[in-house]
Structure 1
Amino acid sequence: MTTGPSTGPGPLGLDPVLLEILACPDTHHSPLTVDEAASELVCTTCDRAFPVRDGIPVLLLDEARRRGAGS
């Protein structure tokens, strides 16, 4: 049963609707942007990068890496 029109998978194989509601588990309200080259979701506030494995975002702080200077 379909609840609405399907647009197909988005970047990294993630549902675009899911991407709209995902937020950083640390800052709680910060949206995540897609870094397709690195297969990661990136917090726009704390600059943590969360891996996406087999189309599943891994939003665990222990799995995240800090981007920016020195990474």
Structure 2
Amino acid sequence: MSPKVSQSTGYAPNVQMSAFGYVMAIILVIVLLPMLPILVLAWILWKIFVPEQEHESRFESWRTESGKQPSNAS
């Protein structure tokens, strides 16, 4: 009896699963390749029309820029 695809002995590469993975990768490339110009155009338009926002990670900077006083100040 031959081993099933789901049964792996762990001692050798599973040729059936490797072949299945390569076939699925080829199918995905063929399906997604026509979408590439649309994705590139959308990325270019995003970069042109959506401004980058600075990410401020410090609470102290926000507090001083907004005019708020520290809680321990009188």
Higher normalized helix content (fraction of residues): 2
Q: What's the TM-score, normalizing by structure 1?
A: 0.22
Higher normalized strand content (fraction of residues): 1
Q: What's the TM-score, normalizing by structure 2?
A: 0.21
Q: Which has the larger radius of gyration?
A: 2
